[in-house]
Chain A
Amino acid sequence: MPLTKQDVAGIAEYARIALSDAELDEMTDYMNDAIELLDPLLEYDLDGVEPTFHPIGELVNVTRDDVVTAGLSLDEALANASNVRDRAFRVPAILSGGDES
């Protein structure tokens, strides 16, 4: 069943991508076309086939020692942020005005 515009609007809300009504139409078409391109995957019988999540052969247990390394200075850390205050990154209200919880 193809994705509806409402489905796509829900995904856009989750993915924090604001889309206009026209963009939603376009995106819905694109996604349905793209999903059709994936059909060959559905034709496989993949019973008993292990997934390969990491194309790194037998490489396992990669770790580092618990040793402190130099990080960023405060200025470096905040340098690319648009909105900072009191050594911190600043964001607008998380809940909108009437939303009390």
Chain B
Amino acid sequence: MRKLSEVLRDWEAVIGLEVHTELTTLETKMFCGCRISHDDEPNANVCPVCLGLPGALPVPNERAIESIVMAGLATNCEVMRRSMFYRKHYFYPDMAKNFQTTQGPVAFVMHGHLDLEVPADRADERPTWASVAADGATPIERAADGSYVAPIRILRIHMEEDAAKMVHVGGAEGRIGGATESLIDYNRCGTPLIELVTEPDLRTPEEARLFMEKLRETFLALGISDCSLEHGSMRCDGNVSLRRRGESSLGTKSELKNLNSFKSLHDALAYEICRQAEVLEAGGVVLQETRHWEPSRRRTVVMRVKETADDYRFFPDPDLAPFDLTDEFVERCRARMPELPDAKRERFASQWGLTRRDAGRLAGDPDLARLFEGAAAQLRPQEVPTLANVLINLAPSFGALTMLQLVSITELLFRDALTFAQAREVLGIVNGTDQMPIVVAGDRGLLQSTDTDALGAIVDEVLARCTDQARQYRDGNRKVLGFLVGQCMRASEGAGNPKLFNQLLVERLG
């Protein structure tokens, strides 16, 4: 198979995503008062409604509808005031009623978009000739650094209920093929699920990955889900087809499943694009089929071929009154929305002078952003970029640092009392305790002296010893300075500040 970059020179990949997100932060299921399950024993959270017992009736969870409206507002969707729940029928026991309650042609929110900022180092998959966005109107202009912005339209986000979990017994690796029986746990059945469907506006696997990352950051900020790809509370299917450069009609698409990490999403799409190109270039046809990504073998395999469209016998659910959302309801949802990652990033960048990249990393994770803002409030403004550095580069290795510990370590680093390596050592000690870094560093003699007079004496002693190196420096070999700083550090038994040594050496040698 050819490489992706070569394939995308000749072919345009047309990619759409369907993203299912469980509203795991709610207390109860979509249509009944059962607690949403996390790691419960099988069938611990079930009732007549979610088990589909005869006579039971659904009643929608208002918070779930608030959540989907917030998701829609955050993705620039239009709130559709009038919509209904529909029944989607298929006989499979993961749905207790043998139909899924979902939405029909009109979803709660529709017709949105996210502007995808593709940074330079993730921009090269997009061929340069693809200079117009999928809406046919928006030019894709590359910034001087090679980055670009692609608007990705969102067709709809609709509300539905999740299915039960099935464990297949007797087959290989828990797969359904070869299994002799299956066990059904209805704990997950009825969990509120929102399904976002994009327009086929994505053009590269990297854009798909970025879109998913951005969507995850957005939903995390809204607090509507824990958005775990690994545990399946956020699940993504990808549709991809190819067409020759410059063509406007769509090719036959395949649907990819089991994309349970950002890497799988990217790699599966990349594989599938190359596979389809090979098929088409050999004069073959791409079949409309569902394919399963096998991460260990790095390939997609056919799950099933779709010969005809499934007939789900959709009709409006007579048990559920229609919705006609009021202005008041929508405004209440809007008022509950937190600052979204994009806005937060711009604010962090301008307020604290962070790079957009650093600001984006802090803003994209609500817990991190909260920690950052809390700690920043206790620091002087000029110290905040150091805090950002700590949070991005140091703190992730330690799971249990308190805000006060972060403030303390930031202050020490800012005034050069610790090296980065020493800071790491200190954090390793205080992590998970209530000890303060400044105390631990002091006790262990790690605090670097910033007393210029004391350090000056050491510098003078070193220069007196290392006359050769001093001469070499004066002759223009600036690299030797590192050796001299090292000698100073050794002489001070690590207690001196290397930056200050550096500064004093340059002064004396200058």
Contact of A60 among B62, B182, B186, B322 (CB under 8 A): B322
The interface residues of chain A lying within 8 Å CB-to-CB of B65 are 63
Chain A positions 60-101 with a Cβ under 8 Å from a chain B Cβ: 60-72, 74, 77-78, 85-95, 99-101
CB of B178 within 8 Å of the partner chain: yes
CB of A46 within 8 Å of the partner chain: no
Once A65-B62, A88-B185 are accepted as A-B contacts, the answer to whether A94 and B321 lie under 8 Å apart by CB is no
Q: Which of B37-45, B346-354, B464-472 contacts A (4 or more CB under 8 A)?
A: B37-45
CB of B55 within 8 Å of the partner chain: no
Once A90-B182, A94-B168 are accepted as A-B contacts, the answer to whether A101 and B177 lie under 8 Å apart by CB is yes
- The docked-state distance in angstroms from the alpha carbon of A79 to that of B110 is 43
Contact of B28 among A56, A66, A100 (CB under 8 A): A66
Contact of A88 among B28, B51, B64, B167 (CB under 8 A): B167
Contact A53 B316 (CB under 8 A): yes
Contact A88 B183 (CB under 8 A): yes
Chain B positions 85-99 with a Cβ under 8 Å from a chain A Cβ: 91, 93
Interface string of B148-186 (1 = CB under 8 A from A): 000000000000000000011010000011111111111
Once A54-B318, A71-B33 are accepted as A-B contacts, the answer to whether A77 and B311 lie under 8 Å apart by CB is no
Interface majority SS (helix, strand, loop, mixed), chain B? loop
The interface residues of chain A lying within 8 Å CB-to-CB of B311 are 14
Contact B43 A64 (CB under 8 A): no
Contact B304 A101 (CB under 8 A): yes
Contact B179 A94 (CB under 8 A): yes
Contact A90 B179 (CB under 8 A): no
A63: min CB distance to chain B, Å:
4
The interface residues of chain A lying within 8 Å CB-to-CB of B51 are 72, 77
Interface string of B303-332 (1 = CB under 8 A from A): 110000001000010101111111001000
CB of B73 within 8 Å of the partner chain: no
CB of A59 within 8 Å of the partner chain: yes
The interface residues of chain A lying within 8 Å CB-to-CB of B35 are 68
Q: Could you list some 26 contacts between A and B, CB below 8 A?
A: A14-B311, A53-B84, A54-B316, A54-B322, A60-B322, A61-B329, A62-B59, A62-B320, A62-B321, A63-B59, A63-B61, A63-B62, A66-B26, A66-B61, A66-B62, A67-B27, A67-B33, A68-B33, A71-B33, A72-B47, A86-B183, A88-B43, A90-B181, A94-B182, A100-B178, A101-B176
Measured CB to CB, the residues of B under 8 A from A are 26-28, 32-35, 41-48, 50-51, 59-65, 84, 91, 93, 167-168, 170, 176-186, 302-304, 311, 316, 318, 320-326, 329
Measured CB to CB, the residues of A under 8 A from B are 14-16, 53-54, 56, 59-72, 74, 77-78, 85-95, 99-101
Excluding A63-B60, A72-B47, 7 further A-B contacts by CB distance (< 8 Å) are A54-B322, A63-B62, A65-B62, A71-B50, A72-B46, A85-B181, A93-B182
